[in-house]
Amino acid sequence: MSLTRIAMKDLRDTSRSRMLGVVVVLYVLFTAGVAYIYTLIPEIGPGTGELSLELISFLGTPIGLFVPIIGLMLGFNAISGELESGSIKLLLSEPHKRSDVVFGKFVGRFVVMTIATLLGFIAALGIVLALYAELSPVVYVEYVLLTVLFGGVYVSLGIAVSSLTRSKTKATAGVVGLFVVLNWGWGLIGIGLHWIIEGTPFSMGAQPDWYQLFSQASPGGAFSRVSTAMLDLQGPAQQFAVTADDPWFLQWYVAVVVLFVWMIVPLAIGYLRFQSMDI
């Protein structure tokens, strides 16, 4: 099958990237380091004999930083790199459909993304299990799957940007801009809208529904919403959690749908662009 052949080739080629390898190693080391720091907290240290779900909150920092970077790095040259080098003509001279090229590249790079994600979680798990007697396996596995989906979003976004350019330089600029907008710019826009509508940039109490919906509409916001639901936060953070009494569009399952939309729509745009491109 053409799609499978392209996916396997892309998997082999992508895994040889030295820069990607460096980023993945940093991600694994950072994740392991965060997990170790977690075990040093007196209130939840090794003496308790139990793995607290707060570990997931700790892992959110390396995940929120490295997973988008790895995903965009995997996707940014998927199409643009082939176009710049001219190898796309050779690829399409074989019996491959353009849909096979786009979706095959996504599958191959998504597998690499999944492997990188699992390495980080395995490193964190190994350190914590060396000091704790118990583990909440179901929640941990759910969080791993959520992170894999989160990574797939950024692989798809990278491929979409790659399909809109004809050089790796432009694709690089595109994914850097996209990273800044989705990871920092989105929150700043939300603060500006909150200031305009509510008269203040911040609120120490419960946020208005529209603001929570806007925050949840970004990949990072949707990921955080589902993470919050998994943690079932108590104490001071409870005021920011979503309850069953909140509108349906703020529930965790809607955030999951948002992540799937972010993964599917950019990939579809990339395919449509590549399908209509004159090569």
Q: Which of 1-10, 48-57, 118-127 has the highest mean pLDDT?
A: 118-127
Structural domains counted in the chain: 1
Confidence of residue 275 (pLDDT cuts 50, 70, 90): confident
Q: What is the mean pLDDT of residues 16-30?
A: 84
pLDDT exceeds cutoff 70 at 138: yes
What's the pLDDT at 99?
85
What's the pLDDT at 151?
95
pLDDT exceeds cutoff 90 at 106: yes
Average pLDDT, the chain: 83
SS3 of residue 78 by DSSP = coil
* Higher-scoring residue by pLDDT: 158, 48: 158
Q: Give the domain range for residue 227.
A: 2-276
What's the pLDDT at 52?
55
Alpha helices in the chain (DSSP H): 2-15, 18-39, 54-75, 80-85, 87-93, 98-129, 137-163, 168-180, 186-198, 209-216, 219-231, 252-276
Q: What is the mean pLDDT of residues 193-215?
A: 83
Radius of gyration of the chain from its Cα atoms, rounded to whole angstroms? 20
Return the C-alpha torsion angle 94, 98, 103, 105, nearest 10.
50
Question: What's the token pair of residue 153?
Answer: 């979003």
CB atoms within 10 A of CB 184: 11
Per-residue pLDDT tens digits for 77-98: 888 888 887 787 777 777 778 8
Confidence of residue 241 (pLDDT cuts 50, 70, 90): low
pLDDT exceeds cutoff 70 at 232: no
- Does the reported pTM lie above 0.85? yes
Distance CA 139, CA 135 (A): 9
Q: What is the mean pLDDT of residues 266-273?
A: 92
pLDDT exceeds cutoff 80 at 32: yes
What's the pLDDT at 235?
37
pLDDT exceeds cutoff 50 at 237: no
Question: What's the token pair of residue 80?
Answer: 């643009």
Give the phi and the psi of residue 12 in degrees, each rounded to 5: -65, -45
